[in-house]
Structure 1
Amino acid sequence: MSTSPDTAAATGTDSRAAPATASGGEEPQKLPILALLALATAVFITSLTETLPAGLLPAMSGDLRVSESATGQTVTIYAIGTALTAIPLTAATAGWRRKQLLLTAMAGFALANTVTAVSSNYALTMGARFVAGVAAGLAWALLAGYARRMSPVPLQGKAIAIAMAGIPVALSLGVPAGTFLGTALGWRVAFLAMTALTVLLLLWIFTTVPDYPGQERGERPKMLRALRVPGVSPVLFVTLVFVLAHTILYAYIATFLDDLGMGGDTDLVLLVFGAASLVSIWVVGAHIHRRLRSLTIASTLLVAVSAALLAVLADNTALVYIAAALWGLGWGGVPTLLQTAVGDAGGDSADAAQAMLVTLWNVAMAGGGIIGGVLLDVVGSDSFPWTVLVLLLPVLVVVLASRRHGFPAKRLGA
């Protein structure tokens, strides 16, 4: 995913202190659906563009005249672009008006995707992917904060779930559609489609998303201070390791399936994975206000069971599809769970905690691409699910241990 935003960059306030609007005879609280769907579309486009090469590795590697593991680093460099620049650029642009910054980031994203689509040079493609990661990181540093600010406190969990729904939609519909489009018309058409969607999104943001001021200089966050807030470090650790485990397998899913003799089923497997992710994010959105801890534990266990099936029984085609469904059920709600957890834990430092989360998320994406490439070349793709299992063990331990802070049994205000 590149998926995790700097809340105060969009809000300038602690989200839990936002006023509730409906009581007694007042008008019922409502969500700004059109604006939230615009944010969800931004998440969709940035998430899809980050992972799109996963379904197009063979075609891209042929045109760029490099190996599939080298082509897989187009996912890595995108994540590195976000990881290296999310915190400094978020701090540098903290005074910008939020809508202006979001439009600027998405415009830069469209330009980078266009260069990727027309490039035949590996170095130029990698440079364009890096820039796309930078632009996506700026956008991600706004989105959850925007969703929280636009919504009444009791509905903020649902608002974030709607905004983050772009991730499972990208995985369930976007990646399979992009893979199909790339197979039928060429991978370049898939990236040009991302540019066209981004241009339309710019108009949508301009007309429906409200604007908010940036932060005054004295209000801007101290990033490292957030690490001393109880609960923040456990959430950041879970983010780093969980996303790393997911990316090692997902970034090379086309190659993994091809080695199983299921290369022609890549788009269908991704469709099953993504459809299950949609179910997951619906469940998380409906229950996160009261069950964040149990949902996080369930997500970890579901992904672990999926990895175990792929490790032991991947020679059975039906079980591969079942594993993909379990994987999606576990993974789909994870971005919403982790962003909400770090926002809750951060309190007055939620802005800094969110910026650190987006950085670690993309460090994990980059690390997953690198480690997956090394495993592919040295051990083979059958090592991927075993690696996922090993990494998920400390994730589960930390979630279980963080009962008081980080992943509490009861959220504040629930």
Structure 2
Amino acid sequence: MSTAPDTTDTTAARPDPRGGPAQQKLPLFALLALATAVFITSLTETLPAGLLPAMSADLGVSESATGQTVTVYAIGTALTAIPLTAATAAWRRKRLLLAAMGGFALANTVTALSSTYALTMAARFVAGVAAGLAWALLAGYARRMAPEHLQGRAIAVAMAGIPVALSLGVPSGTFLGDALGWRVAFLAMTGLTVLLLLWIVAAVPDFPGQERGERPRMLRTLRVPGVGPVLFVTLVFVLAHTILYAYIAAYLDDLGLGGSTGLILLVFGAASLASIWITGVLVHDRLRGLTVAGALLVAVAAAVLAVLSDTTALVYAATALWGLGWGGIPTLLQTAVGDAGGTSADAAQAMLVTVWNAAMAAGGVVGGLLLDAFGSGSFPWSVLLLLLPVIAVVLYARDAGFPPRRSTADASPTSGA
């Protein structure tokens, strides 16, 4: 990704060929392609969760062993995002995006056709590697396609694929797997990815990578003011969210609401979509305030679930608050780390992807330990306690990381590409 100003590549702000003013609109068709890529990465990661019984029966292993297909995906992402981002820094951005999505098509096809557990795990690891490349690329790609004052909104559009995958994609994939078999669900993902590849070729603009002598230096990036606080907030916030979300079915079952899990997740997803829309509108000028508000909303939701979960209506209300607080967080953290990273934004994005996936993997482990030791009632209390340092760090990092107002330099197209 180029670190030098490159106004000729910023297609969203390119002068009208008829001599009119520069375009000041979001390239929605291209951004929706990126949102679909985000959808595919998120759904590929979580799809096995709804297909465990059938997958375990076919592969001849226990459901707990099959569940590790989700863990190995996160490990593949966490281990390879930083080195692969550095190794491919000079690649054209469109070429890299096509390669990453092609990796998903390959991995999901092998998963669908595999008859052995070892091959399935290898395919899932490859999918995680492709995700590491994609996640380190997508937010900066979205920023680069948009005019300066709409870059936050562009990232919000791209990140909308996350709640759509979690609230609609996973239930749909589970339904398809139940009706036609789990292999069909993975083949459907391959088909969707092939269509996306054609969409990218036709509609997504290309941008240059970094010059050969300007490869991202990861350790140096950690010393850039603001990057550390954003990565800390990412680690702890995602850990807190995953502890509850990964075991939401067990939590709701203990409340006697196991039969309503799908509906409650739909409420969460709808609130998350609303959060993404609000974030897209306000992120350019209110990144710090939105991050604090998101953490506070999730904390309030956790407090309600901790002390008032015996009232069904309040469980639904808390879920809505949770989704409203969480939905915009991926956009906010991607934007914050891109701003803080400046000319090292690629390296900072790769670090965020690594920390994010490490937090997800840790959340699954910590949640399981809490469930065995203290029961599911410990989840909301854990979320609440973890969010206290998150809020403190966001408030503390006002000079770099989460400034009260984003500067023009922070929001420049070259800083987040």
TM-score, normalising length: structure 2:
0.89
Shift of 1:116: 2.5
Shift of 1:211: 1.9
> Matches of residues 7-406 of structure 1 in structure 2 within 5 Å?
8=1, 11-13=2-4, 26-57=21-52, 59-61=54-56, 64=59, 69-119=64-114, 121-406=116-401
Residues 228, 180 of structure 1: alpha-carbon distance in 2 compared, 3 angstrom cutoff? same
Shift of 1:201: 0.7
The question of whether the paired residues in 2 share the 8 Å contact of 1:32 and 1:151 is answered with yes
> How many Å separate the matches in 2 of 1:213 and 1:28?
21
> How many Å separate the matches in 2 of 1:16 and 1:226?
25
Shift of 1:333: 0.4
> How many Å separate the matches in 2 of 1:56 and 1:368?
21
Residues 335, 176 of structure 1: alpha-carbon distance in 2 compared, 3 angstrom cutoff? same
Shift of 1:188: 3.4
Which range is displaced more, 18-27 or 229-238? 18-27
Amino acid at match of 1:34: F
Amino acid at match of 1:53: P
> How many Å separate the matches in 2 of 1:17 and 1:228?
31
> How many Å separate the matches in 2 of 1:399 and 1:311?
24
Shift of 1:221: 1.3
Residues 255, 116 of structure 1: alpha-carbon distance in 2 compared, 3 angstrom cutoff? farther
Residues 309, 116 of structure 1: alpha-carbon distance in 2 compared, 3 angstrom cutoff? farther
Shift of 1:126: 2.5
Residues 373, 325 of structure 1: alpha-carbon distance in 2 compared, 3 angstrom cutoff? same
Structure 1 gap ranges (5+): 1-7
The question of whether the paired residues in 1 share the 8 Å contact of 2:267 and 2:320 is answered with yes
Which range is displaced more, 197-206 or 249-258? 249-258
SS at match of 1:412: coil
> How many Å separate the matches in 2 of 1:352 and 1:51?
26
Residues 254, 70 of structure 1: alpha-carbon distance in 2 compared, 3 angstrom cutoff? farther
Shift of 1:64: 4.9
> How many Å separate the matches in 1 of 2:5 and 2:238?
26
> How many Å separate the matches in 2 of 1:405 and 1:191?
42
Amino acid at match of 2:306: A
1:408 aligns with 2:407: no
Of structures 1 and 2, the one scoring higher in RCO (CA 8 A, sep 6+) is 1
Amino acid at match of 1:180: F
TM-score, normalising length: structure 1:
0.90
The question of whether the paired residues in 2 share the 8 Å contact of 1:277 and 1:333 is answered with yes
Structure 2 gap ranges (5+): 412-417
SS at match of 1:261: coil
SS at match of 1:146: helix
Deviations 1:131-177 (A, max 9, x none): 11101111112111211111111111111111111112212321232
Aligned residue number for residue 4 of structure 1 = none
> How many Å separate the matches in 2 of 1:202 and 1:223?
30
> How many Å separate the matches in 2 of 1:251 and 1:17?
44
Deviations 1:198-249 (A, max 9, x none): 1111111111112222222111111111111111100010001111111122
Shift of 1:253: 2.2
Amino acid at match of 2:260: D
> How many Å separate the matches in 2 of 1:369 and 1:83?
15
Which range is displaced more, 18-27 or 37-46? 18-27
> How many Å separate the matches in 2 of 1:31 and 1:276?
23
Residues 102, 236 of structure 1: alpha-carbon distance in 2 compared, 3 angstrom cutoff? same
Deviations 1:247-284 (A, max 9, x none): 12222223333333333322211111111000000000
> How many Å separate the matches in 1 of 2:379 and 2:63?
16
